[in-house]
Structure 1
């Protein structure tokens, strides 16, 4: 059988374009989903929630939003991990702070937070919550929380101070995490 060099060259050209194009398209999608995620202007809700991690950025953003929108309840995820020191400290001093609810998710990840939030929503009868997390985490965290509750979930991103290499790492981690939330939803039924 003679080898058709024209069709082999064409196949190699198509493969080369795909090898270049797929990562470029992924990077563009990652920038849109994780660096500049779609967010509606925040409005008043029953409670504002600060997810664990990067609390030095997330907690002040949540407290400022709570004050601006007169949200009566601040819900804070505690983890005992170094990146959550500010939130953990606030919760350790929670004596006498009306409207502050602290919880420790099990397991210590976004899935555990989604489960714990579903229970808190049910316990307190909230109809809407605002969730503050880092910009890169808005889509995945919102997906997981909405899988666990039927209440209105408003996601707000705080802007983390990350290097380009750290952003690239977050793009990879969040892409995998988002795919995982679609393949393995957290809650089998929604509670309201």
Structure 2
């Protein structure tokens, strides 16, 4: 083919154009990979902060109630200490092992543990337990809304482990319109070692995503999606 033939391109020119396209594709792929890595890193940093370094409040003076999120475990020690200082009038404990769904008297084991820790309610109605329905943080938030309306509560301190607080704040704020302080109980699961901390990060990250998929106080995910989440 003659150099003057119409449409003729020297081999070097054709090869350079092909290499240019390949370089453009490689740059685009690398740029997308870098962007994905950046977004993943930012997301991971926010999740770590939300789970391990949540915003924590100071106890509210003479709150109407101190609510302890479930399960009813070592958090009771901090609850007994706060109640012994007169921090709140009523102690409300979320106890998933309680059989009755109606808020009321606590299991003997919970009462005995609080007494062992040095706190005994001055009046029978100063201590109540409940089993949320559903047995989730959202269920606990719904019970808080119910108890607040029944008892005329206007201010509440809410006690949870640090890794639980960010999610609790999202869900409870949807149900509770009164004053509230979010308190961190010491020695949460994440403080028990690297494996426990990793498990807490994995679980709470998924639970935060789940919380973000709903917007209302009582709004729940479709049953099949909740079942899928439980199996992960």
Scaled by the length of structure 2, what TM-score is found? 0.68
Cα displacement string for residues 112-135 of structure 1 (whole angstroms, at most 9, x for unaligned residues): 111111111111101010110111
Indicate how the Cα distance of structure 1 residues 166 and 18 shifts in structure 2: closer, same or farther if over 3 A, else same: farther
Hey, what does 1:106 align to over in structure 2?
Answer: 133
Aligned to 1:46, which of 60, 64, 76?
64
Structure 1 segment 84-99 matched on structure 2, within 5 A: 89-91=109-111, 97=121, 98=123, 99=126
Hey, what does 1:29 align to over in structure 2?
Answer: 46
* 3-state SS in 2 of match to 1:185: coil
The runs of 5 or more residues in structure 1 that have no matched partner are 82-86
1:70 pairs with 2:90: no
Indicate how the Cα distance of structure 1 residues 54 and 72 shifts in structure 2: closer, same or farther if over 3 A, else same: closer
State the alpha-carbon separation in 2 of the partners of residues 163 and 26 from structure 1. 23
1:55 pairs with 2:73: yes
Aligned length: 183
State the alpha-carbon separation in 2 of the partners of residues 137 and 25 from structure 1. 21
Preserved CA contact (<8 Å) 1:75 1:101? yes
State the alpha-carbon separation in 2 of the partners of residues 71 and 100 from structure 1. 11
Indicate how the Cα distance of structure 1 residues 20 and 174 shifts in structure 2: closer, same or farther if over 3 A, else same: same
User: After TM superposition, what 4+ stretches of structure 1 lie above 6 angstroms from structure 2?
Assistant: none
* 3-state SS in 1 of match to 2:76: helix
The runs of 5 or more residues in structure 2 that have no matched partner are 1-16, 99-105, 115-119, 220-232
Indicate how the Cα distance of structure 1 residues 79 and 162 shifts in structure 2: closer, same or farther if over 3 A, else same: same
Preserved CA contact (<8 Å) 2:92 2:127? yes
Scaled by the length of structure 1, what TM-score is found? 0.81
State the alpha-carbon separation in 1 of the partners of residues 34 and 144 from structure 2. 45
* 3-state SS in 2 of match to 1:12: helix
State the alpha-carbon separation in 1 of the partners of residues 113 and 34 from structure 2. 57
Hey, what does 1:178 align to over in structure 2?
Answer: 208
Preserved CA contact (<8 Å) 1:111 1:186? no
Report which stretch shifted further, 131-140 or 164-173: 164-173
